[in-house]
Amino acid sequence: MGHPFDHVILEKEQDIALEEVWGRAGQIGFDLHREPQMEYFIRVGIGYRKLLEKGLLLLEDSPCYYLIGVNWNGQWIHGLVGAVHYAEYWSGHVRKHEETLEANEMELVKITEAIDFNFNPIMLAYPDHPRIHHLVEEVSMQWETYHYFNNEQVEHKLWVIRDPEVIAGIGQAFGEVQATYIADGHHRIASGAQVARLRSEKAGAPEHSPHNYFIGVHFPASQIKLYEFNRLVKDLGPYSTEGYMHLLANKFALTRLDGPYQPLSKFSYGMYLDGGWYRLDYLHAHDLENDPFARLDVVVLRREVITGILGVSNMRTSDKMGFVEGVRGVGPLVQAVDSGGYRVAFTLCPASIEEIFAISNHGETMPPKATCIEPKLKSGMISRLLSE
């Protein structure tokens, strides 16, 4: 679980004068002519410090944990918030299930170095634990410290946990959890870990320096809602519709449908092609080896169709691929195909949290755009300075 920490943002950053932005840019060595997108983040960094100087941020005067509650579609989910040492990530106690893109990672390293504070939490999942559940339930029955709605009118509550006995109980309970799993924030944690290593190596900083911690929000597995990333492909490769469907029938049972199909079970897919919907049921699931990676629906679809028939070998770099979060429904898929931007769309069954745990435990990673987590945690409510 990590350690309690002490910074909570209560208000938005103020508007910062342009000359101050340029001054900050010069101090950290950025050329805003070449990287104009960095101006926003430098504004955030300067604004944050101005709020601290003016006393407009609440600084906890003693270590504490937080409990955050989110009313997602009428159901409250609760996550415990603490500062987690990157050593937990490096050692594999905090486990990943997705690879990161180097370009995105390096951009986040620049941003973190520029603003010098951490305001974007990492969403972590852990196997349900009765003792933790009991502690969370006891806290959530008390009157919340803060109650607010975000810009999307999603209701939030925040409890500040200062009781030493409760803090000790949380630490003891999480000591029984063998591993936590990154649900959302792979690029943020990877870039933050780079910053921590670089700063520690450069300055010989103590192990418990602020830059060695990230904000972790811990949710039990039963409260994590996973959505699929549906796929779009721009063409059928060298095949006509008839030739493509013939090859597809060797691997899937095909059923023409009157309307959209959103799979609810593994090895079943929806396909939208030439204005019509089809159900695709994989014929060779019983032949798959007992490997959690090989049995992922996204892997089966990639191997058998997207690469095996349509010839897209690298979904990470190919300009033939498109991805749409399942939470958005099938409308964007139909529009993308009917407009001519793409030739065919596929809907998938969401991966399960158990599959994510299994992939992570095997030291493997999922293909890009394999899962979508909701609700997304908003940045800025809780923060930590990275320098003393």
- Per-residue CA distances from 61 to 4, 43, 322 (Å): 12, 27, 48
Q: Is 2 left (phi over 0), alpha (psi -120 to 50) or beta?
A: left
DSSP state of 55: T
d(CA 196, CA 108): 13
Domain ranges of the chain: 5-225, 229-349
- pTM across the whole model: 0.80
Structure tokens at 125: 């999942």
Q: What is the identity of the amino acid at 231? A: R
Q: What is the share, in percent, of the chain residues with pLDDT greater than 70?
A: 90
Spell out a b/e string for 64-95, using b for 16 or more CB atoms within 10 Å of the CB, else e. bbbbbbbeeeeeebbbbbbbbbbebbeeeebb
378 φ/ψ angles, rounded to the nearest 5 degrees: -80, 145
pLDDT tens series, the chain, 388 aa: 555 444 333 333 344 434 444 454 555 556 656 666 677 777 777 778 778 778 888 888 888 999 999 998 888 999 999 999 999 999 999 999 887 777 778 888 888 877 788 888 999 999 999 999 999 999 999 999 999 888 888 899 999 999 999 999 999 999 999 999 999 888 899 999 999 998 888 767 778 888 999 999 999 999 988 889 999 999 999 999 999 999 999 999 999 999 999 999 999 999 999 999 999 999 999 988 788 888 999 999 999 999 999 999 877 678 899 999 998 999 999 999 999 999 999 999 999 999 999 999 988 888 878 888 877 787 778 888 888 7
pLDDT tens for each residue of 154-176: 899 999 999 999 999 999 999 99
pLDDT tens for each residue of 40-94: 777 777 778 778 778 888 888 888 999 999 998 888 999 999 999 999 999 999 9
d(CA 346, CA 22): 47
- Per-residue CA distances from 27 to 34, 36, 111, 144, 264 (Å): 16, 16, 14, 41, 53
SS3 338: helix
Neighbour tally for 335: CB within 10 Å: 13
